[in-house]
Amino acid sequence: MKWHEMRSDEVMDSINTDGDSGLTSKEVQKRTQKFGLNELKEADRPSAIIIFLSQFKDFMVLVLLAATLISGLLGEYIDAIAIIAIVVVNGVLGFFQERKAERSLEALKELSAPQVNVLRNGQWEKILSKELVPGDIVKFSSGDRIGADMRLLDTKSLEVEESALTGESLPVQKSTQPIAGEEVGLGDLTNMVFMGTLITRGSGIGVVIGTGMNTAMGQIADLLQNAETMETPLQRRLEQLGKILIVVALALTVLVVGIGVIQGHDLYNMFLAGVSLAVAAIPEGLPAIVTVALSLGVQRMIKQKSIVRKLPAVETLGCASVICSDKTGTMTQNKMTVTHIWSGDKVWNVSGTGYHPHGEFLYDDQQVDVNNTRTLQQILTFGSLCNSASIIESEGQYRLDGDPTDGALVVSAMKAGIKRETLQKNFEVVDEFPFDSTRKMMSVVVKDKSGNRFVVTKGAPDVLLGVSSNILWNERQEVLNSKYEGKVKHAIESLASQALRTIAVAFKPLKSTDKINSSFEAEKDLVFIGLQGMIDPPRPEVKQAVKECRDAGIKTVMITGDHVITAKAIAKQLNILPHNGKVMEGKELSNLSVDELETIVDDVYVFARVSPEHKLKIVKALQNRGHIVAMTGDGVNDAPAIKAADIGISMGITGTDVAKEASSLVLVDDNFATIKSAIKEGRNIYENIRKFIRYLLASNVGEILVMLFAMILALPLPLVPIQILWVNLVTDGLPAMALGLDQPEGDLMRRKPRHPKEGVFARGLGWKVISRGFLIGIVTLAAFMIVYYRNPDDLAYAQTIAFATLVMAQLIHVFDCRSEKSIFERNPFGNLYLIGAVISSILLMMVVIYYPPLQPIFHTLPILARDWLLILGMSAIPTFLLAGSLLTRKSA
């Protein structure tokens, strides 16, 4: 018999699992060994050797190697070996950079891997989906992605979207009924769910019958190796820039060689110098360093509790101009506690904090006995009955399993001695319509011991008012006319203005002939009973984060399904709502077109009573206004807005798989303040990339120009090829990496967001590169000429001086690259990596100059002490000349 033909008890028997407690750890271990991890096999990745070899496939490197070979054949062994050594070291560095980039991307995938709720050793726990084994019992609900193939054991209005497997985009209704017949098409297996499909509604429990490649998905796994494009806009732009730079560098090199030959230089020497120059001047390592900088930044962001799912988001983050954030759970703590209960114009206060189920009920400051207060008892009972959360006690601590709003209602009932377990014994839940943010209600159909059925509904009070026709008023049922409606509304507003989240409770008895097939049939003609008001305190750090965002030119918009007045009260506490700021309700939003919304959206700071569908409209309107929008969300219905936003953000704790998959950033702690940190990091990463681009290119410009000018002036070569290569490897490479790890400048979060279309050389970077590079070239040449004319016979000494001046000029200039404004803005010892890189570069240079065995290889001679004065003086000029002129300009 196949799985779908069996009854659920038969399934459990044949897969050998206990339905009440699941598998034991020992059994799980055995099965993991037998079946392996629940993973699809991935396409093979390139091996280390291939990555290493690919470092040398660069055209100019190949030319250099060929040139080296020629010089080797011509008997220049030392030169040849030294050049090859440098090329290999360069390749090894590139290899490690690339490996590092790849590894950290791998690690990211792991971090955002889906989790599942599984029953093991008698307890529900969360594990990674890849740890599932056949026989595991798994619980899932709307928004989850199914982790393995399962036979269903229990379903509640369960609907699954299986398009990944069947191509059918309409959700399929699922049940637990056995299906007859051996051969049934995948689309008709309504008592099973499959790996990779999505729960769009309801909830269910299933037992795993297939994992890994043994699933329906596994059979078509080859088709699914869809690699996501991870290239960021900047990387793409740099690639284009790289191509231009190659052409420019080559052209200049040819020019240098050409002029050199015309001026009477030896062709062979000029060729080797030209190729070395081209290798040095072409920033072929730039894309790799950018990737490393991005992925190191991503790792820093993980430490600050945000996971980047799509690398381009790192850049876009720095451009964000509006953050649209959920209120509940993101700006607030999502630790709800019922403090007020209202019914029939009476208000009871409830004491106690958190999920600790002990507290008192007070009326007019007098303690009341709930057992003697029928209304109170009803509100609490129904609130706990129409519920999907539970409070778990262990060692005196109380923990919530489920939705905090639900949890608060369970706890308030427990404070009156009403336990969910006892209720579940007395009332059988025969049907359930789970909460969703569009209906803003949840309902259950229950049957009591004597077989009477009734509907219990809880949800947003204004919505419940609309579907109630009667009201319990001081234990008497009355028609819900406008008089009572007015009183209820007044009560709602009074609770909401105290920043309380309000939930109303209602019910209706059913006749035995009544049939309830949909939430719509359940949620009408209800009897309204009363309200529970719960606090949900703001997260303490959010107020400061909102302020920092405002200083950074980023507007914060609160979006919530909660009541307008509650939303407004919390927005005021957090300083989100300015005096002239508008609050808009979902109703109003529905009536506006995107174009109409666009004209006013800049004035709106709070959107209340919205449905997830509204979020898309908000994103579009803001984008039409030219904003770069970050949008948070957690539910299935939030996914379209998350996708449409420039930066889609999902919640690590409460977020559904659907929302996470749609997002480019996941907040591990669901916290608004984390968005701010991520934006700050995003800005910093971008600025750091600019810093090393600036440094590398200015250095390259300097290297080319010193050679070019020397040729034009009919001078000998100021640098020999191996020196040029050395500078490229040591002086350019190490400090550039260190710049990638630089701390943010003090005013980073006081600048306006960067324009997304901004080019690499925007904000004066191009000028800085050319002017500093030009000066570096000039001073190197000047130092060379001074020493060369002093003693024209000692060319090698003059070349050593030029070499040292070039290195020192770059190492001083690197400190200037740390600031957009001026070198004097920053403490030079702030970046210890940079200090380390500079010191090691200097030491390595000293070794090359003063260590006798290396001198013939690098064509160096020991520099006299007095000439260091010349070198240092010259090399300080490029940085301080322009820094000084900038200062005078500022004071003028």
* Binding interface with Mg ion (CB under 5 A): 328
On whether the CB atoms of residues 254 and 702 are closer than 8 A, the answer is: no
Site residues for ligand ADP, 321-380, by CB under 6 A, read: 326-328
Min dist CB 654 to Mg ion, Å, is 8
Considering the complex, state which of residue 431 and residue 867 has its C-beta at the smaller distance from ligand ADP. Answer: 431
Q: Contact region for ligand ADP (CB under 6 A) — 419-427, 452-460, 547-555, 723-731?
A: 452-460
423: tokens are 């209720």
**Alpha-carbon span 747 to 870, nearest angstrom:** 37
31 binds, among ligand ADP, Mg ion, none (CB under 5 to 8 A by kind): none
Q: Does residue 440 touch ligand ADP according to CB under 6 A?
A: yes
On whether the CB atoms of residues 129 and 112 are closer than 8 A, the answer is: no
Considering the complex, state which of residue 558 and residue 720 has its C-beta at the smaller distance from ligand ADP. Answer: 558
On whether the CB atoms of residues 725 and 809 are closer than 8 A, the answer is: no
Site residues for ligand ADP, 695-734, by CB under 6 A, read: none
Nearest C-alpha neighbor of 708 from the set 272, 247, 253, 273: 253
Considering the complex, state which of residue 562 and residue 687 has its C-beta at the smaller distance from ligand ADP. Answer: 562
Min dist CB 586 to ligand ADP, Å, is 10
60 binds, among ligand ADP, Mg ion, none (CB under 5 to 8 A by kind): none
Site residues for ligand ADP, 24-63, by CB under 6 A, read: none
Q: Contact region for ligand ADP (CB under 6 A) — 41-49, 118-126, 290-298, 454-462?
A: 454-462
**Alpha-carbon span 794 to 859, nearest angstrom:** 12
Angle in degrees, CA 810, 813, 814, rounded to 5 = 90
Q: Contact region for ligand ADP (CB under 6 A) — 421-429, 501-509, 654-662, 740-748?
A: 501-509
Indicate which single residue of 27, 79, 161, 406 sits in contact with ligand ADP (rule: CB under 6 A).
406
Min dist CB 359 to ligand ADP, Å, is 21
Min dist CB 406 to ligand ADP, Å, is 5
Residues 6+ apart with CB under 8 A from 77: none
Torsion region of 365: left, alpha or beta (phi above 0 gives left; psi -120 to 50 gives alpha): left
| Residue in the structure block whose two tokens are 């350019």 | 732
Min dist CB 562 to ligand ADP, Å, is 4
First to last CA, the chain: 90
Q: Running DSSP on this structure, what letter comes out for residue 568?
A: H
327 binds, among Mg ion, ligand ADP, none (CB under 5 to 8 A by kind): ligand ADP
- Chain-centre distance for alpha carbon 582: 30
CB closest to ligand ADP, residue no? 561
**Alpha-carbon span 24 to 53, nearest angstrom:** 48
On whether the CB atoms of residues 105 and 230 are closer than 8 A, the answer is: yes
Considering the complex, state which of residue 22 and residue 404 has its C-beta at the smaller distance from Mg ion. Answer: 404
862: tokens are 């020991």
191 binds, among Mg ion, ligand ADP, none (CB under 5 to 8 A by kind): none
User: Pseudo-torsion of CA 564, 568, 569, 573, nearest 10°?
Assistant: 150
SS3 assignment, position 337: strand
Considering the complex, state which of residue 136 and residue 638 has its C-beta at the smaller distance from Mg ion. Answer: 638
Considering the complex, state which of residue 319 and residue 616 has its C-beta at the smaller distance from Mg ion. Answer: 616
Q: Contact region for ligand ADP (CB under 6 A) — 122-130, 496-504, 586-594, 733-741?
A: 496-504
Residues 6+ apart with CB under 8 A from 43: 225
| Consecutive H or E run containing 458 | strand 453-459
Q: Contact region for ligand ADP (CB under 6 A) — 192-200, 220-228, 456-464, 588-596?
A: 456-464
Nearest C-alpha neighbor of 179 from the set 160, 156, 151, 199: 151
Considering the complex, state which of residue 203 and residue 731 has its C-beta at the smaller distance from Mg ion. Answer: 203
Indicate which single residue of 8, 325, 405, 728 sits in contact with ligand ADP (rule: CB under 6 A).
405
Site mask for ligand ADP (CB under 6 A), range 111-130, x = bound: --------------------
Nearest C-alpha neighbor of 328 from the set 659, 654, 677: 654
Site residues for ligand ADP, 299-328, by CB under 6 A, read: 326-328
Angle in degrees, CA 810, 812, 816, rounded to 5 = 100
873: tokens are 């003086």
- Chain-centre distance for alpha carbon 482: 49
Q: Contact region for ligand ADP (CB under 6 A) — 204-212, 292-300, 458-466, 525-533?
A: 458-466
Given strand 306-308, what is the order of strands in its sheet? Answer: 306-308, 665-667, 647-651, 629-633, 322-326, 555-559, 604-608, 582-585
**Alpha-carbon span 329 to 112, nearest angstrom:** 20
779 binds, among Mg ion, ligand ADP, none (CB under 5 to 8 A by kind): none
**Alpha-carbon span 86 to 298, nearest angstrom:** 31
Site residues for ligand ADP, 777-836, by CB under 6 A, read: none
Site mask for ligand ADP (CB under 6 A), range 505-544, x = bound: ----------------------------------------
460 binds, among Mg ion, ligand ADP, none (CB under 5 to 8 A by kind): ligand ADP
Q: Running DSSP on this structure, what letter comes out for residue 215?
A: S
Indicate which single residue of 145, 201, 501, 694 sits in contact with ligand ADP (rule: CB under 6 A).
501
**CB neighbours (10 Å) of residue 817?**
28
435 binds, among ligand ADP, Mg ion, none (CB under 5 to 8 A by kind): ligand ADP
Site mask for ligand ADP (CB under 6 A), range 224-253, x = bound: ------------------------------
Rg of the chain over CA atoms, in angstroms?
35
By residue count, the chain amounts to 892
Considering the complex, state which of residue 8 and residue 632 has its C-beta at the smaller distance from Mg ion. Answer: 632
326 binds, among ligand ADP, Mg ion, none (CB under 5 to 8 A by kind): ligand ADP
562 binds, among ligand ADP, Mg ion, none (CB under 5 to 8 A by kind): ligand ADP
Q: Does residue 859 touch ligand ADP according to CB under 6 A?
A: no
**Alpha-carbon span 165 to 145, nearest angstrom:** 13
Indicate which single residue of 234, 442, 696, 701 sits in contact with ligand ADP (rule: CB under 6 A).
442
Considering the complex, state which of residue 146 and residue 658 has its C-beta at the smaller distance from ligand ADP. Answer: 658
Site residues for ligand ADP, 554-573, by CB under 6 A, read: 560-563
Nearest C-alpha neighbor of 635 from the set 112, 336, 199: 199
Q: How many residues lie near ligand ADP (CB under 6 A)? A: 21
Considering the complex, state which of residue 192 and residue 389 has its C-beta at the smaller distance from ligand ADP. Answer: 389
Of the CA atoms within 13 Å of residue 492, those in its CB half-sphere come to 24
Q: Give the catalytic positions in this structure.
A: 326
560 binds, among Mg ion, ligand ADP, none (CB under 5 to 8 A by kind): ligand ADP
Nearest C-alpha neighbor of 729 from the set 79, 88, 270: 88
**CB neighbours (10 Å) of residue 713?**
11
Min dist CB 563 to ligand ADP, Å, is 6
**Alpha-carbon span 523 to 516, nearest angstrom:** 10
| Residue in the structure block whose two tokens are 């090894």 | 92
703 binds, among Mg ion, ligand ADP, none (CB under 5 to 8 A by kind): none
Min dist CB 388 to ligand ADP, Å, is 7
**CB neighbours (10 Å) of residue 41?**
11
Residues 6+ apart with CB under 8 A from 181: 5
Min dist CB 567 to ligand ADP, Å, is 8
Site mask for ligand ADP (CB under 6 A), range 459-488, x = bound: xx----------------------------
Residues forming contacts to ligand ADP in the complex (CB under 6 A) are 326-328, 403, 405-406, 435, 437, 440-442, 458-460, 501-503, 560-563
